[in-house]
Structure 1
Amino acid sequence: MAQSITAHLQAGYLLYDRYRIVRLLGTGGMSVVYLANDERLIGKQWAIKESRPAAQDVRQLVHEASILTTLRHPHLPLIVDFYPPDTSGRAYLVMEYIEGHTIADRLRMKPLSFEESIRIVLPVCEALSYLHQQNPPVVFRDVKPSNIMLAKDGQVKLIDFGIARNVNPLSEQDTVKLGTVGFAAPEQYRGQQTDARTDLYGVGALVSHMLTGGAWKGERPLTASMLAKDVPENMFGILTRLLAKLPEERYQSADELIEDLRHLFTVHSNTYGAGLDERSSWHQANAGTVIAFLGAASGLGTTHSALMCAAVLAKKSRSTLYIDANYKEDSVIPSLAYAYEGEKELYLASDDLFKLFGVDCMEWKFGTSPLPSLLGIYEYIVLDLGCDDQGERMDEFMRAHIPVLVGSLAPWREKDCIELVREFELKRFNRWVLGVLQLNFSIKTRTRKWRGAKAISSIPIQSDPFECTEDTKRWVEQLIGPIQQGGLVSRLRRWISRNKAERGDVRS
């Protein structure tokens, strides 16, 4: 197990010729965490966790760190590098720096409502489900309020893999006995083998703590009378099952728990989505919105515009997806991973999903459209179609809730749009938006040819697509604003009907 440690790196110290220490973020007895600037990636900051593992644990630590650096999930911090113990016995784990506060901090401010609690715990369960499905499974073993981070961008993150481990089916006991008193499962106190059900006990303890306003800390049996008044009666049964002393009497998987929590919420509130999310009506009205960017020609900034839009939406929403659907060219995502995170391998090892500045990024080069299955998961989907001069994915553009044709008002580039506009006219498609980079040409004198467009949008010019300026925020709000009607079902309908037609399921 880890040995006690005190902070010794001073501000300004350069660790491994790359990470410049800024300040101490926190200490935990067995580890300390620093904030550091990346000297190779200007402007990038990381959290660096320092620990001193016992000599007999070094091999296992190195093995498990190699697994942790491959994990990619929206509700887990990105762990990018590991340095094994140096001559002083100190090891370093480099991970994503998350600004925000923990559940423990939040409860000190004011109690959480039932809806807020479930909105937080569901992402935690999704992260645990992902960990438990690894091969071999990763057991977190320390689910507690101080290990759940509520980031400033609205994301929920499960942090601190201090005592996480792989399940060893050949072992009957763990080398590290305890998690945190009050939140650790009975088998952890006894030093017995832990598995996914151990984490589910921790979830039960966490939710019980949250739904009692922080009063319940595991020192006595939970009773229904301890729960806040807004907690539905059936929730107590879920908590009782989670807190069962025997693992076989608990939920057997995080997915099973997620299903029950969602069902309970559906019963408790009229709709799961409306209850879970206490966002503004602006976001609720636009849940499941697809914004498609299509370039009239190459070199007009279609991908750059799509990324700017996704970056702004990620700041405003809890779930934004960018899809690189330009099938004619190599994916831009590995280049983004290299430019902003320093390693293309961060994306290549991520099962086709990469998270950057709060935006989930994925490719769709071939095969059927993934959109029908994604609309129920993401609040906003930004579809980057590139320059589709062969019209292979024109239907996707026309089905989008906000289709943006990226063109130019410059006289020498107007011809790039003419053919596409004629096609729109033939199909009586008049919902599209013409997006143009800010130019010196007078929009009023150059818009006569584009009367078929629903609107003309002036795309801001900036070098970094992920820098959310007032101009980009205003631009995105102007794009999204007009689409404030219809729920998720109506948004799904245009994709569902299309898929049925392709399969021949539509009846005449």
Structure 2
Amino acid sequence: MYFETKLKIGQVINDRYRITDLIGSGGMSIVYLADDLRLKGKRWAVKESLCLDELHSDIQAEADMLITLDHPRLPRIVDFYLPDREGYSYLIMDYIEGVSLNQLMKDNPGPLPCNFIVKVARQLLEVLQYLHDHHPPIIYRDLKPSNIMLTLQKELMLIDFGVARSYKHGISEDTVKLGTVGFAAPEQYGSGQSQPVSDLYGLGALILYMATGGRCSHWEYGMEDRLYNYMPAGIIPIIRRLLRHRPEERYQNAGAVLKALDRVESEMDRENDLTAVVPFPLEKGKSIVIALLGVASGLGTTHTSFAVSSLLAQKGSTAWVDCSMNSSIFDRIRSLLYAQIATVPYTDEQSAFSWKGVHYWNRSFNREMADLLRGNYEFVVLDLGTGEYGGALEEFKHSDLPLLIASGADWRIEELLLWIRRKGIQAEPNWRVGLPLAEHSSAQLLQSFIGTAKVYGLPFQQNPFKPKGKLADVINEIIEGLLDAPSKVKSRVFFKKNAK
């Protein structure tokens, strides 16, 4: 339904709500931002709807329903204005400041982190359980990314009850077939009445949508193999059961799904996954670049770069790039993980692959490097090796966080000082120096020589992909402030590799 709005910026509703901005519009409504003229500093969302005869009762029912609800993941209704003579009605409700899941997925291409997906699922189940426990149960009927808001406090809010309804006993099917194609349960389109398990189907579609980076919302042949690369094995049968065509074959209530997710989270804890982090997008076109450069071979530069990438992948979309000209690391790790890796969209397997939330790139495919830094990723980790190619030192110096890897042995500290002198450079304030296997005394000694307090001993960790442990703690310390500080991204300096 399209209609012409009656509201304008600056207009005041009932001497109280001044319209200040347009938030968004859909087929059945337009939502504005409004300042409260009585409660200074308070802002509200104003939902304007045009009530045609057949929709009048639906809009009244939505208002009546929302007024009775009281849950921290639902917006409150504070005012409702019945349709005027032209059929326009207005709902005044909480303004949810944040980003929709739909927009977040656009800004974070590819599958979302599995721990974030589980967190979203749990929070949705909390509110669905609340709705379904009403008498009669309230069926939301329209779970989709655009109806889910993530607040600045990184909490979930469910908005837009325009097609929600109360369950009616004895009715064979819905009077009106409503819902969003791809997320609505089959019974919402004529095969039965919407019921609590219909919302659980929508939840399964949403989980699958997040896990496939927006590519799929219904079950397909071979889906298990596709999900295996991104999700804990225990969550795959949960998604499959939620998406059963027959309502009686699904989980029958939200509590049962929560119990199933408890087991999955226990599995994730055993695998040392990080606490779920909402991957809020950074400003587009400003990927944060972390460059690692070793002063000599065999010091653990690549090992550390893997650890950095694995940790950053829990915070946002991350790419790791093998930059060293003669390195075989990319090919070796791809061969080692071949049965577990997935493809990166629009690339071939020779240039990139995906594993556990990180996209691994072969720098020899130089044509894609510019795309990596246009905001496709929040974080780009460059493994520069020992920098034995033209432009490596410039890439290191122009990155947002240059991390120099040197030996942690007391007797090799002079090696770093000679390297710095030979390169004709000085350690900058934003540099970090990592010393694998170094004692605290070694780090202190080096600090005094190079005049920086940003020297870190890197504890031994056999598996660099473990997101928890002493090494992860140190890396968190190294990157502290990088995520929260205002963007100071420099112009990137990337050079083609020159043959020796």
Q: Given the two structures, how large is their TM-score scaled by the length of structure 2? A: 0.52
User: How much has 1:173 moved relative to structure 2?
Assistant: 2.3
Give runs of aligned pairs for residues 66-77 of structure 1, distance below 5 A. Answer: 66-77=64-75
Counterpart mapping for 1:86-105 below 5 A:
86-105=84-103
Q: Does the CA-based 8 Å contact 2:30-2:47 persist in structure 1?
A: yes
Cα displacement (A) at 1:267: 1.6
**Any residues of structure 2 matched to 1:371-410 within 5 Å, and which?**
none
Asked if 1 retains the 8 angstrom alpha-carbon contact of 2:143 and 2:203, the reply is yes
* 1:1-46 deviations in Å (ceiling 9; x for gaps): xx43233311011112221111111111211100011122111111
* Local SS of the residue matching 2:230: coil
* TM-aligned CA distance change 1:64 to 1:161, over 3 Å: closer
Tell me if the contact between 2:9 and 2:21 (Cα under 8 Å) persists in the aligned partners.
Answer: yes
The amino acid across from 1:202 in the alignment is G
Residue of structure 2 equivalent to 1:264: 264
Alignment of 1:273-284 (within 5 A): 275-278=274-277
Q: CA deviation at 1:75?
A: 1.3
2:106 aligned partner: 108
Pair 1:4–1:250, CA change in 2 (3 A): same
Q: Give the 5 Å matches for 1:43-58.
A: 43-58=41-56
Distance (whole Å) between structure 1 residues aligned to residue 191 and residue 132 of structure 2: 20
Q: Secondary structure at the match of 1:227?
A: helix
Secondary structure of 2:31's aligned partner:
strand
Offset of 1:193 from its aligned partner?
1.1
Distance 2:232 2:67 in 1: 39
Tell me whether 1:35 sits opposite 2:33 in the alignment.
yes
Contact 1:117 1:211 in 2 (8 A): yes
Distance 1:50 1:204, change over 3 A: same
Where do residues 318-357 of structure 1 align in structure 2 (5 Å cutoff)?
A: none
C-alpha displacement at 1:176, in angstroms? 2.6
**Aligned counterpart, 1:180:** 180
Q: Is the 8 A contact 1:196 1:253 kept in 2?
A: yes
Alignment partner for residue 9 of structure 2, among 11, 14, 29? 11
Residues 40-59 of structure 1, C-alpha deviations (whole Å, 9 max, x = no match): 21111111111123313423
User: Could you say which residue in structure 1 is the equivalent of 2:206?
Assistant: 206
- For residue 159 of structure 2, what is the aligned residue in structure 1? 159
C-alpha deviation, 1:122, in angstroms: 0.7
Letter in 1 for 2:43: Q
* TM-align CA RMSD: 2.1
d(CA) in 2 for partners of 1:190 and 1:162?
19
The alpha-carbon deviation at position 135 of structure 1 amounts to 1.9
8 Å contact from structure 1 (residues 211, 228) kept in 2: no
Distance in structure 2 (CA, Å) of the matches to 1:271 and 1:228? 15
- Matches of 1:222 and 1:187, distance apart in 2: 25
Instruction: Report the equivalent of 1:245.
Output: 245
- Note if contact 1:37-1:46 (Cα within 8 Å) is conserved in structure 2: yes
Shift of 1:161: 1.0
* Per-residue Cα deviation, 1:100-133 (whole angstroms, up to 9, x for no partner): 1111111112241100111112111101110111
AA of the residue aligned to 2:185: A
What SS does the aligned partner of 2:207 have? Answer: helix
Q: Per the alignment, do residues 202 and 52 of structure 1 end up closer, same or farther by CA in structure 2, a change over 3 Å counting?
A: same
Partner of 1:81: 79
Tell me if structure 1 keeps the 8 A contact 2:99–2:149: yes
Structure 1 residues 291-336: Cα deviation after superposition (integer angstroms, max 9, x where no partner): xxxxxxxxxxxxxxxxxxxxxxxxxxxxxxxxxxxxxxxxxxxxxx
Structure 1 residues 27 and 181, CA gap change in structure 2 (3 angstroms): same
**Distance of 2:156 and 2:102 partners within structure 1:** 13
Q: 1:7 and 1:227 mapped to 2: Cα distance? A: 44
2:211–2:230 contact (8 Å) kept in structure 1: no
- C-alpha distance in 2 between matches for 1:89 and 1:191: 33
The one-letter code sitting in structure 1 at the alignment partner of 2:52 is A
CA distance in 2, matches of 1:77, 1:212: 29
Identity among equivalent pairs (%): 43
Q: Which residue of 1 aligns with 2:63?
A: 65
TM (norm. structure 1) is: 0.52
Q: In 2, distance between residues paired with 1:222 and 1:94?
A: 46
Q: CA deviation at 1:69?
A: 1.2
Question: Residue 33 of structure 1 aligns to which amino acid in structure 2?
Answer: V
Q: Which runs of 5+ in 1 are unaligned?
A: 280-508
Assess, with a 3 A threshold, how the Cα gap between structure 1 residues 176 and 54 changes in structure 2: closer, same or farther.
farther
1:6 and 1:32 in contact (8 A); partners too: no
The SS at the match of 1:107 is: helix
SS at 1:56 equivalent:
coil
Inter-partner Cα distance in structure 1 for 2:226 and 2:14:
51
Q: Please give the secondary structure, in 2, of the residue aligned with 1:49.
A: strand
Alignment of 1:126 with 2:140, yes or no, is no
State the match for 2:168 in structure 1. 168
Return the letter of the residue paired with 1:81.
Answer: D
1:152 and 1:241, CA in 2 relative to 1: closer, same or farther beyond 3 A? Answer: same
Q: Are the counterparts in 2 of residues 132 and 196 from structure 1 also a CA contact under 8 Å?
A: yes
Q: Secondary structure at the match of 1:162?
A: coil
CA shift for structure 1 position 79: 2.1
1:271 deviates by 9.1
Residue ranges of structure 2 left out of the alignment (5+ in a row): 279-500
1:219 Cα shift?
Answer: 8.3
Summarize the Cα distance change of 1:107–1:245 in structure 2 as closer, same or farther, 3 Å threshold: same
In the aligned structure 2, how far is the partner of 1:57 from the partner of 1:204?
30
> Would the aligned equivalents of 1:75 and 1:157 in 2 still touch at CA under 8 Å?
yes
Distance 1:94 1:233 in 2: 44
Q: Could you tell me which amino acid in structure 1 is paired with residue 178 of structure 2?
A: L
Quote the offset at 1:218 in angstroms. 3.2
Distance 1:191 1:16, change over 3 A: farther
C-alpha contact (below 8 Å) 2:218/2:243 kept by paired residues? no
- Quote the Cα distance in structure 2 between the aligned partners of 1:101 and 1:6: 26
Deviation at 1:63, TM superposition (A): 3.5
Native 8 Å contact 1:119 1:276 kept in 2: no
For residues 73 and 157 of structure 2, what CA distance do their matches in structure 1 show? 4
Separation of aligned partners in 2, 1:221 and 1:94: 45
Contact 1:182 1:219 in 2 (8 A): no
1:418-457 correspondence runs (5 A) = none
CA distance in 1 between partners of 2:250 and 2:275 (Å):
25
Once the two structures are TM-superposed, the CA of residue 60 in structure 1 deviates from its matched residue by: 4.6
